[in-house]
Amino acid sequence: MNRSKKDRILDAAEQLFSERGFDGVSMRNVADTAEVGLGLVTYHFTTKDVLFEDVVTRRAEVLNSERRKLLSELDNPSLEELLEAFFEPYRRFIASGSKGWRAYARLHAILTQDSRWTDLAARSFGAVALEMVERIMMAEPAISRGEAVRGYVHVIGIMVSVFAETGLIDRFSDGAISSRDVATSISPMVRFGAAGIRALAISETAASAPLVTLNS
């Protein structure tokens, strides 16, 4: 059977939103790409905002459940094991070649960077984020809650820039590294993030003197 027209609309919207952002896409645009009438889009989703939300939450639920599953299997994990379990489902979905998941990863970058969607982002990813912060604190007992949050947020900043495959790294490495080769990006990202978080923990006990003099 064909996938339903509702799914076709979600797929088209996902693709277009990921390429041109919320405001760069019109409802007509979505309808045309999905090859359905405009009325059907508003029948299913009422407004453009609802459509965007539904696009985001659809795969967020899949991602969250996979992440929870992997995290629940970890017993007293190191930071590296923790981050690997966090990245692994996303990596698997993207590396499967799914056009939808690759579009979703770009959308994810838009979501975390735009304050208009902070609420939606918190609803979609907040629960697993809090679980990650707790787990970071267990893996690295010397860290404070504040620094664990900071470490997690930095990891997210790296993750979305890597999974969004913007081509920045291709450019600066003269093609030696491809941003589309997500699989080989995971291991460096895990090591970078784990070492970074550890550096945040250490700093609080030892090097708590500010490196930067504040003169403003």
- Residue 36 in contact with DNA, rule: CB under 7 A: yes
Residue with tokens 């009325």: 39
Residue with tokens 């405001």: 23
Given its own copies, DNA, none, residue 191, with its beta carbon under 5 to 8 Å by kind, binds its own copies
Q: How far is the CB of 14 from DNA (least distance, A)?
A: 15
| Cβ neighbours of residue 85 closer than 8 Å, sequence gap 6 or more | 67, 70, 71, 73, 74, 77
User: Shortest CA distance to 63 belongs to which of 98, 16, 29, 39?
Assistant: 98
Written as one letter, the residue type at 204 is: E
Among 10, 16, 17, 48, binds DNA (CB under 7 A): 48
Q: How far is the CB of 116 from DNA (least distance, A)?
A: 14
Q: Report the distance separating Cα 42 and Cα 184, nearest Å.
A: 41
Given DNA, its own copies, none, residue 62, with its beta carbon under 5 to 8 Å by kind, binds none
Of 7 and 114, nearer to its own copies (C-beta) is 114
Q: Report the distance separating Cα 169 and Cα 15, nearest Å.
A: 22
Stretch that binds its own copies, among 3-11, 28-36, 45-53, 128-136 (CB under 8 A): 128-136
End-to-end Cα distance, the chain: 64
- Residue 78 in contact with its own copies, rule: CB under 8 A: no
Residue with tokens 């939103």: 17
Given DNA, its own copies, none, residue 189, with its beta carbon under 5 to 8 Å by kind, binds its own copies
Of 45 and 101, nearer to DNA (C-beta) is 45
Q: Hey, which residues between 141 and 180 contact its own copies (CB under 8 A)?
A: 145-147, 149-154, 156-158, 160-162, 164, 166-169, 171-173, 176-177
| Cβ neighbours of residue 169 closer than 8 Å, sequence gap 6 or more | 177, 178, 179
DSSP state at residue 216: -
- Residue 27 in contact with DNA, rule: CB under 7 A: yes
Among 4, 24, 134, 138, binds its own copies (CB under 8 A): 24
Residues that bind DNA (CB under 7 A): 4-6, 25-29, 36-40, 42-43, 46-49
